[in-house]
Structure 1
Amino acid sequence: MNGSAKRWERARAHTRACILEAAAEAFQSSGYDDTCMQQIADLAGYTKATVYAHYRDKAHLFTAVMNLHASSLPEPVVRAHPGADLKEELDYVSLEIQKLAQLDVCRRFCGALRHSVTGTTPYAELWSAYLAPFRAYICSALVRNGVERAEEHASLYLQLLLQANSLQVAPQPAINAGAMLSVFHRAFQQ
């Protein structure tokens, strides 16, 4: 490949990266359904024709953005805490979810899903699978402590953590997640 072709490829890659960044921002704030290609073009600083030259339609652009986010999510690591009481175990998961909430990729991924209706099913399922180790950890802790309906309570606790950290992927009824988490902690104190 000659120097001119290399410069062309670098410019093309830069344009695609700018478009993806603008689309990620637009999808996070407005969702798929309320974002248009012109809005993405304006945010990226390119014409709509340039955006279409790189992505043939909004669905392909959304897929590219969400796949990029999904591939950038850190590997979920849940460590065993032998001898920890239930409160310590619940606090541990809470801290891990707080760490996820600090990651731009997690906020963008969840924001795009929360504000979208169209095309979200595979990504909502991926997010659920991503969170499965945390749910299983909570469930195991509840079972070890003799809590009835451990799976149901584990799902509820995780849902509250996600809502408290703005990582839920579907609109939730307005509740005070902090107060609910406090109630949850007190309910399972030994």
Structure 2
Amino acid sequence: MTTASSTRCASKTSLRWEQARAHSRRCIHDAAATVFAEDGFESATMKRIAEVCGVTKVTLYAHYRDKERLYRSVMDDHLALMPSGELDMQGVADLGDALRRISDGIRRLAADSSCRAFCRTLSRSSLASDSYSAHWNAMLEPYLTRAQAAFDKASAHPTTTADSERFLRLVLTEHGLPQGARPVSRSDATVALFVRAYAAPP
């Protein structure tokens, strides 16, 4: 075999090995995402992840040193794939129109598979809950800001962030998403919200 042939053969072998390694890593990542979403971090085991993927624990540990690293890789991947919270608020007609656009944005977020997997895993895990809850709150911030601006613009009376928080919480709950770490607003804020949204001005 010539030197050139040997080099080509070695290159093909190396490429196949890299492709097999990348495939195994992707399989492990996908299996971990499934297991973490079903069981949460604390109840998930590396043994079960290996079984779901169809690899040995030795192979699993060759790719990910420990369960926490694998969990963080999965959660960070979900975050990277989630849609942004940007909303088109140009030409908003009134408060109802603004709130519908915000609600539609939350609906699109809830329909995203990465968002659903992230939220499901977050709700079942306490590991780094502060860190990933902070990420989730950052995802919700544009919606909250838009809602507050809509209430401020529409109301003849001073509004508070409790109005926009309550609205956002109701929409998130409707779509089965976590409401974030903000304190729950008082029930009178809910009443005020619906009065402002639906009652005819005096």
TM-score (norm 2): 0.81
**Partners of 1:184 and 1:151 in 2: how far apart?**
11
**Partners of 2:23 and 2:51 in 1: how far apart?**
16
Alignment CA distance shift 1:78-1:170 (3 Å): closer
Of Structure 1 and Structure 2, which has the larger fraction of its residues in helix?
2
Question: Given that residues 40 and 124 in structure 2 are in contact (C-alpha distance below 8 angstroms), is that contact kept between their aligned partners in structure 1?
Answer: yes
Deviations 1:129-180 (A, max 9, x none): 1211111000000111226443112112112222211221669xxxxxxxxx
**Partners of 1:169 and 1:87 in 2: how far apart?**
21
- Aligned counterpart for 1:24 among listed residues 19, 33, 39: 33
Partner of 1:155: 165
Deviations 1:26-78 (A, max 9, x none): 11121111111111111111122211111111100001101111111122211
Question: Given that residues 113 and 120 in structure 1 are in contact (C-alpha distance below 8 angstroms), is that contact kept between their aligned partners in structure 2?
Answer: yes
Partner of 1:37: 46
In the TM superposition, 1:66-77 aligns within 5 A as 66-77=75-86
Verify: 1:95 aligned to 2:104, yes or no.
Answer: yes
Partner of 2:6: none
Question: Given that residues 23 and 61 in structure 1 are in contact (C-alpha distance below 8 angstroms), is that contact kept between their aligned partners in structure 2?
Answer: yes
Q: Which amino acid aligns with 2:64?
A: Y
Alignment CA distance shift 1:185-1:47 (3 Å): farther
In the TM superposition, 1:94-173 aligns within 5 A as 94-146=103-155, 148-168=158-178
Q: Which amino acid aligns with 1:157?
A: F
The alpha carbon displacement at 1:10 in A equals: 0.5
In the TM superposition, 1:37-76 aligns within 5 A as 37-76=46-85
RMSD: 2.3
User: After TM superposition, where is structure 1 displaced by more than 2 Å over at least 4 residues in a row?
Assistant: 147-150, 183-187
**Partners of 2:110 and 2:92 in 1: how far apart?**
27
Structure with bigger RCO (C-alpha 8 Å, 6+ apart): 1
Identity of aligned residues (%): 32
Alignment CA distance shift 1:83-1:64 (3 Å): closer
User: Unpaired segments of 5 or more residues in structure 1?
Assistant: 172-180
| Rg (Cα) greater in structure | 2
**Partners of 1:123 and 1:117 in 2: how far apart?**
10
Alignment CA distance shift 1:185-1:50 (3 Å): farther
